[in-house]
Structure 1
Amino acid sequence: MSNVVSGLIVVAVAGLIGAVGLFVRLRVFPGKEDEEREDVAGYVTMMVGVMFALVLALALVSVWEDKDSAEGHVASEASSLNETYLLGASMLPADQEKIQAAASAYAGYVVHTEFPKMRSGKEVDDTGWQLLTNVRTSFLNANVSTPARQAVLSDATTQISNLADARRGRLEDADKRMPSVLWIGLILGGVLTVAMTFIYGIEQRFTHVGMVMGMAAMIGFVLILIYNLDNPFNSGTGADSAPFTSYFP
């Protein structure tokens, strides 16, 4: 099931739950609220709404920054690998073949093995590091008898170092998740915010139901968005392997 379909289902269910909750309230407490009690409830509702908005903003900023960090590391890693591949063309034909084959093998492993694991939250093993070592070894074992090739080796060493740093950052991003305490605050805040709207009495009950359903659906939408962004490499919303496939189709 796609993220769009699952998101729409969550939004619809959230709206339905809000409507059912309001109908239960109206059935159990059908009387209108007195003005004094609604004034007090207004202050409480405002405070709950403000606190929920703060937690919501904190959660969105947290997951969005993780997503941006992951995209930056992926782009940097792919770019450094491509530069390494291109520098290999300056070596002797036999060395060039080994260097570019090692670089292509690394890219293929990252795209077809590591990214699916990161999307599903599985642990990435050390195979990628071994393939990166093969890239480095291919360059270090190349014939650099001329000053030009020695300069190329120096540039390649820098690129491979940058590649390793970007890879390390990408793997750290894959393990990032929003703190559990924020999820508790989001869920409790959403429930309380919707529940506080049950206090008020509106003569047009269908209007009241529509307002509650709209609020519950919007909160459900934001929560499912945060849930999808919580994994920086989630399919559809997170960082993808496009930088690698653009260099190594």
Structure 2
Amino acid sequence: MDVMLTGTLVTVGAAAASVGGFLLISKVVPRRWLVADTDAASTLYATIGMAYAILIAIAAIAIWEPRSAAASSTDLEAGSLVEAYWSADQLAPADRTEVRDLIVAYLGEATGPEWTRLRVRHEPDDGAELLFTELRRRVDAVHPQTDPEQNAYAQLSAQISAAAGARSGRLQAAGEGMPGLLWPVLIAGGLVSVVFLYLFGLERTFPNGLMMAVVGAMIALLLFVLYQVEYPLSRAFAVTPDSLTTALARLRGLP
């Protein structure tokens, strides 16, 4: 289902449920059971709202940092592999050809099957892992004979090492979602924030119903956005493999 449509349905559904609960409580619960001291209730509700806002902020930080790390790692990996491809230009013909072919083959696997697996299952693909391991072994097997080859090999080794670190960072970030305890706490906090409003003894008027709908809809929308951002390489706001895809297109277009 389209993300915009899903988000709309979730928001509208939460708004309807919030209003429905308000109408039910105001009709079924005797008025004497509802909160009479609205000033004290308002102060308490402000405290609840502040605590819930802090929880939302913690959740946002917890899921945004891995996303930023995944994006940075992807860009660094792509840039390092492009530079490694050019550094191989000064190697002996056999070494140059094999190293460049492995770089292109790995990029093809990383942007295709592996990226799909990371998006769906949050784990690396064996094919990409084998290709990158083979690339590192092939670079280690280079034995430069001249000064230009020595310089090229030093640069190539550093760039492949940087790509390896970036790849590790990308794979690690792909599986970092919301800490397990936060989702139940966020959902429970959202329910408390809405249900507590029912205890203000508000009249069953349109403005009060609208207020309930807006609160319920906003909380549901926040949780929906957090859910969509939770995994860096998955769902609606996922990091894309554009930098790796661009690198692959550039290298394939070279003679």
TM-score surpassing 0.5?
yes
Amino acid at match of 2:61: V
SS of 1:199's equivalent? Answer: helix
Paired residues of 1:88 and 1:96 also in contact (CA < 8 A):
yes
The aligned residue for residue 24 of structure 1 is 24
Amino acid at match of 1:106: Y
The aligned residue for residue 47 of structure 2 is 47
**2:227 corresponds to 1:224:** no
| Per-residue CA distance 1:184-213 (angstroms, 9 max, x = gap) | 211111001011111224446111111111
Deviation at 1:127, TM superposition (A): 3.0
The aligned residue for residue 159 of structure 2 is 159
Residues 35 and 113 (structure 1), Cα distance of their counterparts in 2 relative to 1, 3 Å cut: closer
Amino acid at match of 1:114: E
Cα distance in 1 between the residues matched to 2:3 and 2:175: 21
Deviation at 1:225, TM superposition (A): 0.9
SS of 2:198's equivalent? Answer: coil
Deviation at 1:37, TM superposition (A): 2.8
Cα distance in 2 between the residues matched to 1:162 and 1:125: 20
Residues 34 and 218 (structure 1), Cα distance of their counterparts in 2 relative to 1, 3 Å cut: closer
Amino acid at match of 2:234: N
**2:240 corresponds to 1:240:** yes
The aligned residue for residue 107 of structure 2 is 107
| Bigger shift: residues 86-95 or 41-50 | 86-95
Cα distance in 2 between the residues matched to 1:159 and 1:206: 64
In structure 1, stretches of 5+ residues that fail to align are none
Paired residues of 1:38 and 1:199 also in contact (CA < 8 A):
no
The aligned residue for residue 123 of structure 1 is 123
Cα distance in 2 between the residues matched to 1:123 and 1:42: 47
Paired residues of 1:75 and 1:243 also in contact (CA < 8 A):
yes
Amino acid at match of 1:3: V
SS of 2:117's equivalent? Answer: helix
Q: How many residues align?
A: 249
Alignment of structure 1 residues 8-157 onto 2, 5 Å: 8-29=8-29, 31=31, 36-142=36-142, 144-157=144-157
| Per-residue CA distance 1:16-68 (angstroms, 9 max, x = gap) | 11111111112213748888432332232122111111111110111111111
Cα distance in 2 between the residues matched to 1:12 and 1:56: 21
Amino acid at match of 1:139: V
Cα distance in 2 between the residues matched to 1:4 and 1:158: 44
Paired residues of 1:33 and 1:200 also in contact (CA < 8 A):
no
Structure 1 vs Structure 2: percent identity of aligned residues? 27
Residues 235 and 241 (structure 1), Cα distance of their counterparts in 2 relative to 1, 3 Å cut: farther
SS of 2:71's equivalent? Answer: helix
Deviation at 1:69, TM superposition (A): 1.0
Deviation at 1:7, TM superposition (A): 1.7
Paired residues of 1:228 and 1:237 also in contact (CA < 8 A):
yes
Amino acid at match of 1:206: F
Cα distance in 1 between the residues matched to 2:107 and 2:26: 60
Runs of 4+ in 1 over 6 A off after TM superposition: 32-35
Using the size of structure 1 for normalisation, the TM-score is 0.91
| Per-residue CA distance 1:111-142 (angstroms, 9 max, x = gap) | 11121111113432443232112222333444
Name the Cα RMSD after superposition: 2.1
Paired residues of 1:140 and 1:153 also in contact (CA < 8 A):
no
Amino acid at match of 1:162: A
Using the size of structure 2 for normalisation, the TM-score is 0.89
Amino acid at match of 1:232: P
In structure 2, stretches of 5+ residues that fail to align are 250-255
Paired residues of 1:114 and 1:124 also in contact (CA < 8 A):
yes
Paired residues of 2:117 and 2:123 also in contact (CA < 8 A):
yes
Paired residues of 1:99 and 1:139 also in contact (CA < 8 A):
yes
